[in-house]
């Protein structure tokens, strides 16, 4: 095995991400100082509606990744396990339980006690159970949004019903927030926030469009870190400026034929959540001149991927379009739709192979992965590799073993290129 030659070039703009996230955490502190309403929210919930209602969001999943990056997550997870939570449960959840138990500071992944909690099962049931546990422990109200999943034989009529069902819950959510905070829904503010959220998602998608170029101008160093504003700040202006800077720099690279890697031989897609405690792991790909050019997880959170959801729709009907968005999320797609979408992606981004993270924490993410892998190979001749690990629990990562698997996989890709 050859040695790592160099580091994939990060965009200068991505360095500004720290300031952006710093702004987010300052806003949380300020809200607490001023006694303004705050809410914990799970990924996939309409955070935009919180901003519209004057509520400062906090995302414990985001905080859990901070703990992992600072090598603190294992300690928090073990604390939660001492409380009786199983080794097999989601490590984001357990990181949060441990962080709360230890009164951890926000700088190491702690999360302040909120005014209320907002969850949804759009991505997983864990989100709902997690907030159920924590809202009882912290004694705060909890609102959850139920999102039906679209399966292969879901009819158009059923989909319309699903939309209506979600829409009603969103209006109920607004009533719930009004009751707790005294703040009323303001349509004009709703429109402004919705427009900002739309723009944020679209600039992010534009960055991904640039990654179709060979060589690819943007590596995972930029995207795995750069995605956090999509979770925490959709609806604000400042992250749009940051993404525009990232786009501009990436475009200059494309115009000058510069890639994030000096030599790009293999283009890969990554499915699933990365290993937050070991993001440096991905630099290992560089020794084989391989680069990840598309991450399904990172792209999914740009939200506005359904072409039926137009800018006009979003601005004119902010609440209704949120309902539509929640039904267009990668996570609720059935196997057939995931396969078709991945197949299209592989073609459009010129991908040689797919790395799939069989995440021991996240069954909804990993469920059907082996079926998807088989379908990709048998029906579309797309090679893929399943890697078993965990996004926040370093005890479940065997780096040497995973690297050996990837090396063998690259060997397969090399042979295929010779054909
Ligand atoms: S990692 Fe998976 S199980 Fe855990 S909260 Fe996220 S989606 Fe849910």
Per-residue pLDDT tens digits for 323-349: 999 988 777 778 888 899 999 999 999
| Probe target for ligand 1 pocket from 59, 91, 126, 297, with the most ligand atoms within 8 Å of CB | 126
Q: In this predicted model, what pLDDT tens digit does every residue of 50-62 receive, in sequence order? A: 999 999 999 999 9
Any atom of ligand 1 within 6 Å of the Cβ of 221: no
| Partners of 267 in the β-ladder | 291
* 322 pLDDT more than 80: yes
Question: What is the predicted pLDDT for the residue at 1?
Answer: 39
State the pLDDT at residue 2. 40
Rounded to whole angstroms, the Cα distance separating 294 from 270 reads 6
What is the mean predicted confidence (pLDDT) over 264-282?
95
Q: Is the pLDDT of residue 8 over 70?
A: no
C-beta separation of 352 from 415 below 8 A: no
**Best of 80, 297, 362 for a ligand 1 pocket test (most atoms within 8 Å of beta carbon):** 362
Cis peptide before 215 (omega within 30 of 0): yes
Q: Does residue 65 line the site of ligand 1, with CB under 6 A?
A: no
CA distances from 414 to 267, 373, 419 (A): 12, 19, 9
Taking the C-alpha atoms of residue 215 and residue 32, their distance in angstroms, rounded to an integer, is 46
In this predicted structure, which of 109-123, 150-164, 342-356 has the lowest mean pLDDT? 150-164
How many residues belong to the chain?
A: 419
Domains 12-185 and 190-301+333-418 share a fold: yes
pLDDT surpassing 50 at residue 281: yes
Pocket test for ligand 1, best of 97, 122, 127, 392 (most atoms within 8 A of CB): 127
Q: Where are the domains of the chain?
A: 12-185, 190-301+333-418
Residue with tokens 């500071």: 105
- Answering whether pTM is above 0.85, one says yes
Beta bridge partners of 269: 294, 354
pLDDT above 90 as % of the chain: 87
Token look-up 């079926």 returns 371
399-418 pLDDT, tens digit each: 999 999 999 999 999 999 98
Over residues 356-361, mean pLDDT: 95
pLDDT tens track for 12-43: 999 899 899 999 999 999 999 999 999 999 99
Q: Of 261, 245, 250, 255, which Cα lies nearest the Cα of 13?
A: 245
pLDDT at 352 over 90: yes
Can you tell me the mean pLDDT for 145-152? 86
Q: Judge contact between 208 and 294, C-beta under 8 A.
A: yes
State if residue 123 touches ligand 1 by the CB under 6 angstroms criterion: yes
pLDDT of residue 407: 97
What distance lies between CA 384 and its chain's CA centroid?
Answer: 21
Can you say how many angstroms the Cα of residue 63 is from the centroid of all Cα atoms in its chain? 13
Architecture of domain 190-301+333-418: 3-Layer(aba) Sandwich (3.40)
**Preceding amide of 91 cis, omega within 30:** no
Task: Write the class of the CATH domain 12-185.
Answer: alpha beta
Q: Which two tokens stand for residue 37?
A: 């309403």
pLDDT at 7 (0 to 100): 57
d(CA 179, CA 152): 39
Average pLDDT over residues 73-80: 98
Lowest mean pLDDT among 92-106, 176-190, 233-247, 364-378: 364-378
Contact of 73 with 277, CB cutoff 8 Å: yes
Evaluate if residue 296 carries a pLDDT over 80: yes
Q: What is the pLDDT of residues 250-269, one digit of tens each?
A: 999 999 999 999 999 999 99
Task: Point out the least confidently predicted range of 101-105, 155-159, 407-411.
Answer: 155-159
Report whether pLDDT(350) > 90. yes
| Cβ–ligand 1 contact at 332 (below 6 Å) | no
CB count within 10 Å of CB 158 equals 13
pLDDT band of 241, cuts 50, 70, 90: very high
Q: What mean pLDDT is predicted for residues 293-318?
A: 91
Residue whose CA is closest, atom 3 of ligand 1? Answer: 362
Q: Which residues contact 54 (CB under 8 A, 6 or more apart)?
A: 36, 37, 181, 183
Mean pLDDT of the chain: 94
Torsion of CA 318, 321, 325, 328, to 10 degrees: -170
Whether the per-residue pLDDT at 245 is higher than 90: the answer is yes
**pLDDT tens readout for residues 208-227:** 999 999 999 999 999 998 99
């Amino acid at each position: 095995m050859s040695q790592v030659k160099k580091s994939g070039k990060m965009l200068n703009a991505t360095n500004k991400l720290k300031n952006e996230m710093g702004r987010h955490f300052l806003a949380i502190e300020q809200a607490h100082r001023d006694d303004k309403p705050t809410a914990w929210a799970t990924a996939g919930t309409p955070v935009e509606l919180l901003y519209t209602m004057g509520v400062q969001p906090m995302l414990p999943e985001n905080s859990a990744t901070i703990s992992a990056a600072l090598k603190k997550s294992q300690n928090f997870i073990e604390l939660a396990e001492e409380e009786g939570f199983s080794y097999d449960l989601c490590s984001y959840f357990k990181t949060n339980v441990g962080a709360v138990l230890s009164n951890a500071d926000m700088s190491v992944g702690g999360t302040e006690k909120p005014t209320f909690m907002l969850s949804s099962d759009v991505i997983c049931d864990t989100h709902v159970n997690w907030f159920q546990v924590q809202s009882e422990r912290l004694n705060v109200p909890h609102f959850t949004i139920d999102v039906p999943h679209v399966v292969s034989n879901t009819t158009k009529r059923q989909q319309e019903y699903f939309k209506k069902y979600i829409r009603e819950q969103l209006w109920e959510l607004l009533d719930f927030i009004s009751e707790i905070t005294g703040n009323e829904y303001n349509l004009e503010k709703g429109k402004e926030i919705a427009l900002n959220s739309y723009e944020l998602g679209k600039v992010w998608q534009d960055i991904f469009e640039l990654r179709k170029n060979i060589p690819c101008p943007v590596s995972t160093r930029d995207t795995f870190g750069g995605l956090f504003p999509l979770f925490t700040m959709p609806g604000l202006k400042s992250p749009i400026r940051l993404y525009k800077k990232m786009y501009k720099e990436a475009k200059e690279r494309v115009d000058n034929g510069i890639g994030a890697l000096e030599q790009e031989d293999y283009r890969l897609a990554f499915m699933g959540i990365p290993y937050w405690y070991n993001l440096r792991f991905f630099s290992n790909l560089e020794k084989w001149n391989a680069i990840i050019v598309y991450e399904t997880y990172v792209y999914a959170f740009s939200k506005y991927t359904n072409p039926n959801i137009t800018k006009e729709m979003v601005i004119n009907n902010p609440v209704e379009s949120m309902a539509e968005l929640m039904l267009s999320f990668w996570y609720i797609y059935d196997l057939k739709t995931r396969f078709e979408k991945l197949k299209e992606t592989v073609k459009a981004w010129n991908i040689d192979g797919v790395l799939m993270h069989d995440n021991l924490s996240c069954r909804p993410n990993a469920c059907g992965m082996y079926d998807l892998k088989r379908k990709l190979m048998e029906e579309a001749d797309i090679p893929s590799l399943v890697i078993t690990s965990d996004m926040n629990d370093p005890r479940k990562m065997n780096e040497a073993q995973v690297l050996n698997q990837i090396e063998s996989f690259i060997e397969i890709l090399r042979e295929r290129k010779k054909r």
